[in-house]
A = this chain, B = another copy of it.
Amino acid sequence: MSLEVTPQTMSFDEPLPMRSGSSLPAYSLTYETYGTLNERRDNAVLVCHALNASHHVAGVYAGQPKSEGWWDNMIGPGKPVDTDRFFVIGINNLGSCFGSTGPMHVNPETGRVWGADFPVVTVEDWVDAQARLLDALGIDKLAAVMGGSLGGMQALSWTLQYPDRVRHAVVVASAPNLTAENIAFNEVARRAIVTDPDFHGGHFYEHGVLPKRGLRIARMIGHITYLSDDVMNEKFGRELRHAAAEGDAYRYSTQDVEFQIESYLRHQGDKFSEYFDANTYLLITRALDYFDPARAFGGKLSAALAAAQAAFLIVSFSTDWRFSPKRSREIVHALLDNRRRVSYAEIDAPHGHDAFLLDDVRYLGVVRAYFEGIAKELMQ
């Protein structure tokens, strides 16, 4: 049984200063909560989302039994992050397209849709905004902050920006910054969007069109990097799309679908282009590119992480080539250099980066055990 949940929205009038030097004059954050905040207000867990996810982390919406949140296998009553014990919060990030203030909204200072003029947001800005929501909810200190991929970067950044507001940080399938290859994939996706004639310099809303071609390509590229080579071969291999009907014969076409993997990718691209905002895609991939806490410390991650006071659970997956285990180990080593409490699990899973969203007994078991430890700590 999944929880039935309702999203909420909170508006903020005080401007949010941002790392780019801009500031958001006023904004609102859409969020959901699961479970109950206890009297000591110390059982809150903040879940940060990655590129294309949202505040809808767990549970379902009334009358929509298939609307499970993106981490519903992880979070809920009796689940690894047990909402019978913890008060879990999901927040849609600024610049996203699922409710919180983003490029499709109106800039109150100009009366026009932000579009491409939405200020460049960083992981640090998101964390600042999340902290203001926690202030408003009366939560001084989080039992834990957690996230996978870009969400893991936010969890890590929380421990550096607000070290005394975080007991535990759970950083899954993440990295201390992007590699050149990671940036390269983001850049190709952005170029596909920006050079789509329907993008109109990011002001496509005014033209009544959407740069769907570019979004499709961006999503197809992304999807390849979420999966491992092995799992793609296992799921699709060289199987033909119409093999059943046509006796496994090649059709010999350069533009029609021939292989199953092509069909799958086109479908993923089409779906994505229907619901995702193009400016949001640019903003969020840039937030990924820019994140680099070691940068202010001459590239020394150990020096950057000296500020952290939290205890950490770091998890990586063996076949994740987007954020490989090597990158997680860099975080682990930098924390150990600072004599921080770190647990590290490197899960031997075949699914690549996507593994952080999937059911893997060992992975879910590790997170469950870690949160049971947190629950015990809170009872002391």
Contacts and interface: CB of A to CB of B under 8 A. Distances in A.
Interface of A: 19-22, 116, 120, 177-181, 183-185, 187-188, 190-192, 194-197, 202, 213, 216-217, 220-221, 224, 227, 229, 232-233, 235-238, 250, 252-255, 258-259, 261-262, 265-266, 269, 279, 282-283, 286, 289-290, 292, 295, 321
10 contacts: A22-B252, A120-B254, A180-B237, A183-B259, A188-B221, A188-B224, A191-B266, A194-B255, A197-B197, A221-B221
A344 B177 CA distance: 38
Q: Which 7 A-B pairs have the closest CB atoms?
A: A20-B252, A254-B282, A180-B232, A120-B252, A180-B236, A195-B213, A188-B220
Given A20-B252, A229-B181, A254-B286, A216 B191 contact: yes
A158 B19 CA distance: 59
A224 B286 contact: no
User: How many copies of this chain does one complex carry?
Assistant: 2
Contact of A181 (B191, B192, B224, B258): B224
Contact of A224 (B185, B238, B282, B289): B185
Contact of A179 (B196, B229, B255, B290): B229
A153 B261 CA distance: 22
A259 B289 contact: yes
B181 A238 contact: no
B202 A188 contact: no
A140 B236 CA distance: 42
